[in-house]
């Protein structure tokens, strides 16, 4: 249902013979490696019937549909139609669908045909600097037990009821609404137990509806809030970024969690029945089994569990467009504006790094409390600015 993206592409070591930490009663239906996008969001390569090309799909338990990029569908000559069914996302509303169902093939295994929604994902391709072809959402997850090993970047898909959970983890009941959600404890100025979506397609730790924060007086008045730009299904949305004192997930408590505050004008979250979402910046710290047919989700801490929540705030975005890394979304009053950066500037180097690597530059810009020299091309001129990134708390 909801997707949020920020940051860089990270690499993972993929084991040739991954340890099956899900205890299988029968072998998995299929298994495959995946790549990790910002915040642990998983990008997996699949094929779709009748098309020899490999497509890159994001695994998104928080999306109410499976979808494909409109440009790719047009290139394949697939017919689409409009429907009265509405799918909402952070940036807008869509109702365009393929006219016939398609089967996905993952590492040789063909899943039952599904009807795909059609959405323009060119903005996400620009965010990550590589092609994003679509999303595998909850309609796919709900039919299988899906295990994600974020240490090995490895996925396994099991038939419903064909696995048992190992020792040492925690089991969470899933409450469909209609998407999967659970109860979590928040603590800042006040304490609050709230229902949140489990959203593997969200490249952030925690997002809360602004109305919840106001109604509960959850945040301390001294909390700093910084405006930032977020990419999601359908486009962009400006939000506020702050931190919350603690978030309790079952038996585990996370301190100083970066938190996005979302003004939900389109009722995407559905407050007060649901108050926000848990994203993959937090989920990637666990071994995860999405067992939606059984109404369960299982977590066990992995080697990322103690990774610090540190976000450097710079107040701008960069995108790869026509092989150029361009500045956009410069926030008034942000470090980027103070440094003199402007929308449309081309980034050609950061602190002596002239590799032109979009992901590496994003990595550098997210380093808190850092002074860096940024080389820009503005029209015919080349200039250097000094950017100072801030902490969000």
- Indicate whether 11 belongs to any domain: no
Domain shared by 47 and 152, yes or no = yes
Cα–Cα distances (Å) from 223 to 161, 191, 208, 275, 368, in that order, read: 45, 16, 15, 20, 17
Q: Which domain holds residue 363?
A: 322-391
Number of Cβ within a 10 Å radius of residue 346: 16
Residue pair 28/166 in contact by the 8 Å Cβ criterion: no
Domain shared by 28 and 63, yes or no = yes
- Indicate whether 220 belongs to any domain: yes
Domain shared by 32 and 132, yes or no = yes
Give every CB contact of residue 86 below 8 A, 6+ residues apart in sequence.
Answer: 93, 94, 95
- Indicate whether 190 belongs to any domain: yes
Structural domain ending residue among the three candidates 134, 163, 192: 163
Domain shared by 75 and 128, yes or no = yes
d(CA 373, CA 48): 45
Domain shared by 260 and 184, yes or no = yes
- Indicate whether 354 belongs to any domain: yes
Tally the domains of the chain: 3
Domain shared by 81 and 107, yes or no = yes
Residues in the chain with pLDDT values less than 70 = 1-24, 39, 84-95, 231-235
- Indicate whether 335 belongs to any domain: yes
The pTM (predicted TM-score) of the whole model is 0.88
Coil vs helix vs strand at 1: coil
Residue pair 116/310 in contact by the 8 Å Cβ criterion: no
Structural domain ending residue among the three candidates 282, 306, 338: 282
Domain shared by 142 and 267, yes or no = no
Which CATH number characterizes residue 184's domain? 2.40.70.10
d(CA 47, CA 35): 16
Domain shared by 224 and 268, yes or no = yes
Domain shared by 181 and 256, yes or no = yes
Domain shared by 176 and 156, yes or no = no
- Indicate whether 299 belongs to any domain: no
Give every CB contact of residue 104 below 8 A, 6+ residues apart in sequence.
Answer: 46, 47, 48, 57, 110, 111, 114, 136, 140
Cis amide prior to 272 (ω within 30 degrees): yes
Domain shared by 41 and 114, yes or no = yes
Structural domain ending residue among the three candidates 282, 297, 331: 282
Give every CB contact of residue 52 below 8 A, 6+ residues apart in sequence.
Answer: none
Task: List b or e across 61-86, with b for residues whose CB sees 16 or more CB atoms inside 10 angstroms.
Answer: bbbbbbbbbbebbeeeebebeeeeee
Give every CB contact of residue 58 below 8 A, 6+ residues apart in sequence.
Answer: 3, 37, 41, 42, 43, 44, 132, 134, 135, 136, 201
pLDDT given at position 90: 53
Cis amide prior to 325 (ω within 30 degrees): no
pLDDT given at position 228: 86
- Indicate whether 288 belongs to any domain: no
- Indicate whether 305 belongs to any domain: no
**Could you report the per-residue pLDDT of 312-340, keeping only the tens digit for each?**
899 999 999 999 999 999 999 999 999 99
d(CA 96, CA 80): 7
Torsions phi, psi for 281 (to 5 deg)? -65, -25
Which CATH number characterizes residue 375's domain? 2.30.42.10
Domain shared by 232 and 357, yes or no = no
What are the strands, taking DSSP E only, across 75-232?
80-89, 92-98, 104-106, 109-110, 117-119, 134-136, 144-149, 154-159, 163-164, 170-173, 175-176, 180-187, 191-198, 206-209, 226-232
Rounded-to-10 torsion of CA 176, 178, 181, 187: -130
């Amino acid at each position: 249902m909801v997707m949020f993206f920020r940051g860089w592409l990270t690499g993972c070591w993929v084991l040739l013979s991954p340890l099956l930490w899900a205890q299988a009663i029968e072998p998995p239906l299929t298994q495959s490696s995946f790549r990790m996008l910002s915040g642990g969001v998983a990008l997996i390569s699949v094929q779709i019937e009748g098309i020899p090309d490999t497509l890159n799909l994001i695994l998104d338990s928080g999306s109410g549909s499976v979808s494909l990029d409109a440009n790719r569908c047009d290139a394949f000559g697939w017919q689409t139609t409009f429907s009265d069914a509405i799918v909402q996302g952070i940036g807008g509303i869509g109702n365009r669908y393929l006219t016939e169902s398609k089967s996905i093939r993952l590492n040789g295994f063909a899943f039952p045909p599904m009807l795909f929604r059609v959405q323009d994902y060119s903005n996400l391709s620009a965010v990550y600097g590589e092609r994003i072809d679509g999303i595998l959402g909850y309609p796919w997850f709900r039919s299988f037990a899906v295990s994600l090993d974020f240490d090995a970047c490895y996925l396994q898909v099991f038939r419903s009821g064909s696995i048992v959970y190992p020792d040492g983890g925690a089991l969470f009941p899933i409450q469909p609404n209609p998407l999967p959600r659970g109860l979590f404890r928040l603590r800042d100025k006040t304490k609050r137990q709230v229902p949140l979506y489990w959203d593997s397609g969200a490249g952030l730790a925690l997002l809360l509806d602004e109305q919840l924060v106001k109604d509960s007086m959850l945040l301390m008045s001294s909390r700093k809030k910084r405006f930032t730009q977020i990419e999601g299904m359908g486009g962009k949305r400006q939000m506020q970024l702050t931190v919350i004192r603690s978030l309790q997930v079952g038996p585990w408590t996370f301190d100083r969690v970066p938190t996005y505050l979302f003004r939900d004008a389109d009722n995407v979250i559905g407050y007060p029945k649901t108050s926000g979402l848990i994203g993959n910046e937090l989920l990637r710290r666990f071994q995860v089994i999405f067992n939606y047919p059984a109404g369960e989700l299982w977590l066990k801490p992995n080697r990322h569990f103690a990774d610090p929540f540190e976000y450097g705030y710079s107040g701008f975005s960069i995108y790869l467009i026509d092989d150029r890394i361009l500045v956009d979304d410069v926030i008034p009053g942000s470090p980027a504006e103070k440094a003199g950066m402007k929308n449309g500037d081309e980034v050609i180097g950061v602190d002596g790094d002239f590799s032109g690597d979009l992901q590496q530059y994003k990595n550098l810009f997210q380093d808190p409390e850092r002074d860096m020299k940024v080389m820009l091309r503005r029209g015919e001129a080349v200039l250097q600015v000094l950017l100072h990134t801030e902490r969000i708390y």
